[in-house]
Amino acid sequence: MHGPGGDRDDPAEAEQLQRYVVPPGCSSAHGPLVHLGVGSCGRAAVQRLQPGEQQWISAAVSPQGQGARSCATTTRGLAQLLPKVAMEDKTVIITTVNEAWARPGSLLDIYLESFKNGEDTEHLLAHVLIVALDPAGFRRCTVVHPHCHLLEVKIANLTSATPFMSKEYLELVWTKLYLQQCILELGYNFLCTDTDMILLRDPFRRIPVYADMSVSSDDFSSARAPLDNPPNTGLYYMKATNRSIEMLRYWQAARPRFPGVNDQPVFVKIKTELIEKLQVRIEPLDTVYFGGFCEYHDDFDKICTMHADCCIGVDNKVHDLMDVVADWRRYRSMTLEERKNTSANLTWTVPLLCRKSTNWHKPVHP
């Protein structure tokens, strides 16, 4: 992920150098409509491991985004699984984990538990598809959730110690983006979220129906031009349209022009040309509803998600997210009258460990 302006690595994505960083996600809020375009793909094959809903997804992104072929012919297993996970409107929620994030008491447990403790969120849990980035993460996922996949990148030697931004890490990130393209081509919308996030309310109530893509922001100001709000792909929603599929194809095709970087910086670098080439409708999401440690608001009555961005280190994320959980439980235990009387004094516990880990500074708004 990127910080304000998209010209530096977001500390949330830096994570620990000796671990995968869970690839980014999706979200929504108020904000002006923006027109963007993006897109081209590699190759993927879905191979069924065993009967049921848990399967291996084996994929290989060909170098520099070449060798595209139809997802319809290479994801038959996924096509069989998605109807079991999807909502009535063919929407799935996607998140990704590795060994460290899936350990007992770590980020995956916090993420899944938040669905049970949020307002009108528990029903969404049945529609979550967890993509594991390594075998240990997959094994742990199958213990705690029914819809688990192992994303296997054939051309990369991936281990739990794969360094951030290594060749292997980048192949994994770009393969994940191709997987999302395949989901769209199969006719399914998706909400993609990082696992270092807590759901507090149903996010779909704040996702605009008219946008092809809605994406969260590191910090948000309605006074800015929409595209000047720095995107944070820790949470984004994509609608299955021809425009959104072309966007992902174009996005992947741009990869060789910016070697050695992951998906978000490429997206930020090409957004101007995308506006000129495609008419994809993209909306930045307000941090009032989709907050994070980079920027949040003390409005407990509106917030839908809280993301542990602007943070380095799994332990720091877990500690500060558990503070958010405690704050939310106190709020949820109040009566409506108590919430009304104390709303002006309700504040989130400051995520001190995370902000210290990144030398965080308060965003400057126009």
Task: Determine the straight-line distance between the first and last CA of the chain, rounded to whole angstroms.
Answer: 22
Nearest residue to 206 (alpha-carbon basis) of 30, 37, 6, 12: 30
Which residues share a beta bridge with 281? 35
d(CA 173, CA 93): 17
Nearest residue to 137 (alpha-carbon basis) of 44, 263, 25, 22: 22
* Domain definitions of the chain by residue range: 4-358
Supply 268's token pair. 């930020």
* DSSP codes joined into one string, 95-124: EEE-HHHHSTTSHHHHHHHHHHHSBT-GGG
| Cα dihedral value 249, 255, 261, 264, nearest 10 | -30
Rounded to 5 degrees, φ, ψ at 356 are -70, -35
Secondary structure element (H or E) that encloses residue 284, with its range: strand 280-284
d(CA 91, CA 83): 9
d(CA 175, CA 169): 10
Bridging pattern class, strands 231-238 and 25-27: parallel
Whether residue 362 contacts residue 319, with contact meaning beta carbons closer than 8 Å, is answered with no
Secondary structure element (H or E) that encloses residue 94, with its range: strand 91-97
Whether residue 293 contacts residue 354, with contact meaning beta carbons closer than 8 Å, is answered with yes
pLDDT at 154 (0 to 100):
58
Place of tokens 């309700």: 346
Alpha helices in the chain (DSSP H): 11-14, 71-74, 76-85, 99-102, 107-117, 135-144, 167-185, 242-253, 263-277, 314-333, 336-342, 352-358
pLDDT at 38 (0 to 100):
24
pLDDT at 269 (0 to 100):
87
The CATH classification of domain 4-358, taken from the options 3.90.550.10, 1.10.1760.20, 3.20.20.80, 3.20.20.140? 3.90.550.10
Supply 262's token pair. 């992951």
Amino acid at 364: V
Place of tokens 């054939």: 154
pLDDT at 215 (0 to 100):
93
Which residues share a beta bridge with 44? 59
CA atoms within 13 A on the CB side of 152: 14
- Three-state DSSP at 356 gives helix
d(CA 50, CA 136): 18
Whether residue 280 contacts residue 246, with contact meaning beta carbons closer than 8 Å, is answered with yes
Whether residue 304 contacts residue 120, with contact meaning beta carbons closer than 8 Å, is answered with no
d(CA 106, CA 140): 11
The pLDDT profile of the chain, 366 residues, written as one tens digit per residue, is 433 333 333 333 333 222 222 233 333 333 333 322 222 222 222 222 333 333 333 333 333 343 344 565 445 567 778 999 999 999 999 999 989 999 999 999 999 999 999 999 999 999 999 988 889 999 999 999 999 988 766 544 554 445 556 677 777 778 888 889 989 999 999 999 999 999 999 999 999 988 888 999 999 999 988 888 888 989 999 999 999 999 899 999 999 999 888 888 898 888 777 777 988 888 999 999 999 999 999 999 999 999 999 999 999 999 999 999 999 999 999 999 999 888 778 999 999 999 999 999 888 887
| Cα dihedral value 186, 249, 149, 315, nearest 10 | -140
d(CA 112, CA 103): 13
pLDDT at 52 (0 to 100):
34
